[in-house]
Amino acid sequence: MKLRHKVLVVDDEPQIRRLILAALQRADYAALEAGNAREAMAHLRAERPDVVLLDLGLPDRDGLELVPLIKRELDTTLIVVSAREATEEKVAALDLGADDYLTKPFDTEELLARVRVALRNKVTREGGPAALAAGDVTIDLLNREITKGGEPVHLTPKEFAILAQLASAAGRVVTHNQIMASVWPRESEHHVEYLRVLVRSLRQKLEQDPQRPELICNELGVGYRLRLKPA
């Protein structure tokens, strides 16, 4: 099963939002929208999008102020999409943490290409290969596709988040706390039993013999290790 990347469009012009949302949906992204800074931050915290497309001319707050706030709140890909053409505006946005800058008016195909490149760069920057394979299991982190024996595997969002965390550090131990902080980032308390339940479910779906796991290996009292080779 493919879990679609979430893209949040932040723009105060409804017609621009409609244009971008239609392009994103055609490209099979899960598209969200916000017309101001307040709505944008609410969506960011509730939906945790993979990409934010941010206009700078918002009615309740300058978009440049939002760039560092968004990057501190969530490790997301942020692309500024703005009518501001001045070089100093572009430099300021990039210096504040934006991953890219696209000037209006724009071609939607170029926008989609920028999104694809930014997502690919994020996977590389985090140290994980875009795709991995072990036996008959393949994990495509960039496209969020998991297959076993060539057949798509249905994972819940949290199951995929755990698998992606392990795949990004394939061959290395990832501690319980590291995984839980990534999967439940807003929880004040983490319970390792929740993690164990999801790992058991992953093993049922991916392992040849869930009782003798060879893919998701337990490091007693520490965490888990994913035994994969880059595809």
* CA 145 – CA 24 distance, rounded (Å): 18
Tell me how many helices (H) and strands (E) the chain has: 8, 13
Q: Could you tell me the pTM of the whole model? A: 0.65
Neighbours of 131 (CB within 10 A): 17
Report the run of H or E that residue 109 belongs to, with start and end.
Answer: helix 108-125
Tell me if residue 174 falls in helix, strand or coil: strand
Asked if the 6-125 domain carries CATH number 3.30.230.10, the reply is no
Tens place of pLDDT per residue across the chain (231 aa): 457 889 999 999 999 999 999 999 999 999 999 999 999 999 999 888 999 999 999 999 999 999 999 998 888 889 999 999 888 888 899 889 898 899 999 999 999 998 988 887 776 666 556 678 877 888 888 788 899 988 999 999 899 989 988 887 777 788 888 888 888 876 656 678 899 999 999 999 999 999 999 899 888 888 898 886 544
Beta partners for 212? Answer: none
Do 6-125 and 131-230 show the same overall fold?
no
Q: Between the CA of residue 96 and those of 36, 76, 83, 101, what are the distances in Å?
A: 19, 14, 18, 12
The CA-atom distances, in angstroms, between 202 and each of 191, 210, 215 are 18, 9, 10
Angle at 20 between CA 19 and CA 24, to 5 degrees: 125
Fold category of 131-230 in CATH: Arc Repressor Mutant, subunit A (1.10.10)
Domain boundaries of the chain, sorted by first residue: 6-125, 131-230
